[in-house]
A and B are shown apart, each in its own frame.
Chain A
Amino acid sequence: MSQDLTRKTASELAQLLATKEVSAVEVTKAHLDRIASVGDSVHSFLHHNNESALATAKQVDELRAAGEPLAELAGVPIAVKDNLTTTDAPTTAGSKMLEGWLPPYDATVVAKLRKAMLPILGKTNLDEFAMGSSTEFSAFGPSRNPWDLERIPGGSGGGSSSVVASFQAPLAIGSDTGGSIRFPAAVTGTVGIKPTYGAVSRYGLIALASSLDQIGPVTRNVLDAALLQDLIAGHDPHDSTSLPESLGSMADAARAGLQPGSLKGIKVGIIKQLTGAGFQAGVTTRFEESLKLMVEAGAELVEVDCPSFEYAIDAYYLILPAEASSNLAKFDSVRFGARTMPEGNPTIERVMAATREAGFGPEVKRRIILGTYALSSGSYDKFYGAALKVRTLIQRDFDAAFAKADVLVSPTAPTTAFKFGDKVADPLAMYLNDVATIPANLAGIPGISVPIGLAPEDNLPVGIQFLAPARQDAKLYHVGAALEGILENLWGKRMIDFANELKGI
């Protein structure tokens, strides 16, 4: 039973809990057992929260026994990326700078999880301050891809993707600044969504780049993601960029997508700039297969042209470091976090500089310096200022594309999971992983990555990305669930079942 429970989706677990076929304590224990047996081989967690997770589960069981109304996902365990503040667990953002820091407040999303009583199993690993695509830049060692432990689980949210892919939790929270939810989802055969900017409150998310960051669900199927977005989304007065309006029920959209014929008449725009050259052969094979299946199900394909996407990565690698250089200035050893004391009787200026030298890893320092450059007098107009203008062009490209199509589509990533060390020394190569995911962050629109099978050449997961206009996240859940249903019919099993015999774990 225990083994079975960890193979269930969140919606299945919610059903079993609602009908009292299992207790929340049983469900949580099953996942804690699974976490223990997976051990450090995947290294998804930076902190385990067993006791408080069990306490929440026990409370859910008691309230259910008493007939109290409960949230739909009450008692379904979840893992939270370690860049969201939690009062009962250290929050490190994957950085030595924050090792052991216990925040005095909960992130809004964490508060919502607590209110709905999802047992929080622990905090998941990430590239330091979410800067990276592989978790190799975590100060606490990388997470591994459950499909192949020699490969990266994607980044920055490799902890969350690997947790879900290795059945340590059915749900996880991620954050996506340029693809940090969607890229890990693609390379681990899981589902990841970056909602519309502002759909989910950023309050309590340790900022990487404020105008790009967005929190979203990481799950094993589309409906679970929808249930989780419905739970964490909504206006928050603590986040001034939080959308005031509701975007409707994502779960309803996913369920509608699962109905036969749901793709009839839907116009799917293939982004010319995000297909073909530069994409691994097996990725393209699976991508084209999915398109064919969608057409067979009644969808209509159109090609859309987004010429400014050529500059998206460049604009992104100016805006992100610029905002990050300012966001990370607060790590100065005065109010919280690590402090490094140089020899002698140093001034506070020197203490700060020594602390930041010792506390930040190489990628963080590289980006802070780059961002400082992009904002400094003399280069602002040429770099940061120009990047903000490119952002306008990218939005215009999207506007034109969405005039022709309901959703846009591309592979989520150019390749399947690569091996550790392959790109770590070459920042530009590493940055290219995000070529397909970055435009959505620049424009603030929502994007989903759905697994579409294995690349024939390496038997590793491939993801497809759908993009929708701002505030129309529901379209992603509709189309994503529809394709997922078609593929599961084709395969006779779920994507994640391909991974049932995960090597050695």
Chain B
Amino acid sequence: MSDITPELVRHLASLARIDLKEDEVIRFTEQLALIVDSVAKISNAIDASTPSTSHPIAMSNVYRDDVVEPSLSQEQALSGAPDQAQGRFKVNAILDEE
């Protein structure tokens, strides 16, 4: 059985910056438990000596030359921003007031 609990789901949601509603926490806990129980069997297929494959096609040393290419204009860069000021992206304060 998986170790998926509502507390864990809340913790994961906070790591992922999602403000889950309580009913979602409950539903995701159930669904994740099922999924995790199902996928957990992959550990049967492998052992410590099995190498990992992070990239499907093996390549290495792909570089670009150190050459400056055109950037976006400030207007283009900010074009999709929900809020902006002084040529910069505007966001709410970062920490709670102390």
Contact B80–A336 (Cβ < 8 Å): yes
Contact A357–B21 (Cβ < 8 Å): yes
Contact A369–B28 (Cβ < 8 Å): yes
Contact A428–B35 (Cβ < 8 Å): yes
Q: How large is the interface on A (under 10, 10 to 19, 20 to 34, 35 or more residues)?
A: 35 or more
Chain A residues near B96 (CB, 8 Å)? Answer: 347
Number of interchain pairs (Cβ within 8 Å): 178
Q: Does A354 contact B (CB under 8 A)?
A: yes
Chain A residues near B39 (CB, 8 Å)? Answer: 314-315, 317-318, 383, 387
Contact B89–A334 (Cβ < 8 Å): yes
Chain A residues near B36 (CB, 8 Å)? Answer: 370, 373, 383
Contact B54–A427 (Cβ < 8 Å): no
Chain A residues near B53 (CB, 8 Å)? Answer: 388-389, 391-392, 395
Chain A residues near B44 (CB, 8 Å)? Answer: 311
Contact A197–B17 (Cβ < 8 Å): no
Q: Does A413 contact B (CB under 8 A)?
A: no
Interface centre among A369, A395, A470 (most CB of B within 10 A): A369
Q: Does B19 contact A (CB under 8 A)?
A: yes
Q: Which of B32, B46, B80, B83 contacts A386 (CB 8 A)?
A: B46
Chain A residues near B19 (CB, 8 Å)? Answer: 342, 350, 353-354, 356-357
Measured CB to CB, the closest approach of chain A to B53, in angstroms, equals 4
Q: Of A236-244, A400-408, A485-493, which stretch is located at the interface?
A: A236-244
Q: Which of B32, B42, B77, B80 contacts A314 (CB 8 A)?
A: B42
| Residues A442 and B56 in contact in the complex (CB < 8 Å), given A332-B17, A333-B82, A336-B80 | yes
Q: How large is the interface on B (under 10, 10 to 19, 20 to 34, 35 or more residues)?
A: 35 or more
Q: Of A47-55, A281-289, A360-368, A452-460, which stretch is located at the interface?
A: A360-368
Which residues, 448 to 472 on A, are CB-close (under 8 Å) to B? 470
Interface SS of A by simple majority: helix
| Residues A311 and B76 in contact in the complex (CB < 8 Å), given A211-B55, A334-B91, A385-B52 | no
Measured CB to CB, the closest approach of chain A to B68, in angstroms, equals 15
Chain B residues near A441 (CB, 8 Å)? Answer: 56
Contact A444–B57 (Cβ < 8 Å): yes
Q: Does A502 contact B (CB under 8 A)?
A: no
Q: Does A269 contact B (CB under 8 A)?
A: no
Measured CB to CB, the closest approach of chain A to B6, in angstroms, equals 12
Measured CB to CB, the closest approach of chain B to A60, in angstroms, equals 28
Question: In the complex, what distance in Å separates the CA atom of A240 from the CA atom of B41?
Answer: 33
Q: Does A206 contact B (CB under 8 A)?
A: no
| Residues A102 and B80 in contact in the complex (CB < 8 Å), given A237-B64, A386-B42 | yes
Question: In the complex, what distance in Å separates the CA atom of A105 from the CA atom of B76?
Answer: 9
Which residues, 404 to 427 on A, are CB-close (under 8 Å) to B? 427
Which residues, 330 to 350 on A, are CB-close (under 8 Å) to B? 332-339, 342, 345-350
Contact B54–A211 (Cβ < 8 Å): yes
Question: In the complex, what distance in Å separates the CA atom of A354 from the CA atom of B82?
Answer: 14
Contact B31–A387 (Cβ < 8 Å): no
| Residues A444 and B35 in contact in the complex (CB < 8 Å), given A104-B79, A368-B18, A393-B50 | no
Which residues, 70 to 98 on B, are CB-close (under 8 Å) to A? 72, 76-77, 79-83, 89, 91-96
- Interface membership of chain B positions 24-59, coded 1 if the CB is closer than 8 angstroms to chain A and 0 otherwise: 100010011011101111111110001111111101
Chain B residues near A427 (CB, 8 Å)? Answer: 31, 34-35
Q: Does B16 contact A (CB under 8 A)?
A: yes
Measured CB to CB, the closest approach of chain B to A132, in angstroms, equals 15
Q: Does A279 contact B (CB under 8 A)?
A: no
A-B contact pairs, 9 of them (CB 8 A): A105-B72, A314-B40, A336-B82, A338-B82, A342-B19, A347-B95, A389-B50, A391-B52, A444-B56
5 more A-B residue pairs beyond the given contacts A369-B32, A388-B54, with a C-beta to C-beta distance below 8 A: A241-B59, A329-B17, A390-B46, A428-B38, A470-B57
Seen from chain B, the residues whose Cβ lies within 8 Å of a Cβ on chain A are: 4, 8-9, 12-21, 24, 28, 31-32, 34-36, 38-46, 50-57, 59, 62, 64, 72, 76-77, 79-83, 89, 91-96
The 4 nearest A-B residue pairs measured at CB: A444-B56, A336-B80, A339-B82, A388-B52
Seen from chain A, the residues whose Cβ lies within 8 Å of a Cβ on chain B are: 101-105, 196-198, 211-212, 237, 240-241, 243, 308, 310-311, 314-315, 317-318, 325, 329, 332-339, 342, 345-354, 356-357, 360, 362, 365-366, 368-370, 372-373, 376, 382-383, 385-393, 395, 427-428, 441-444, 470
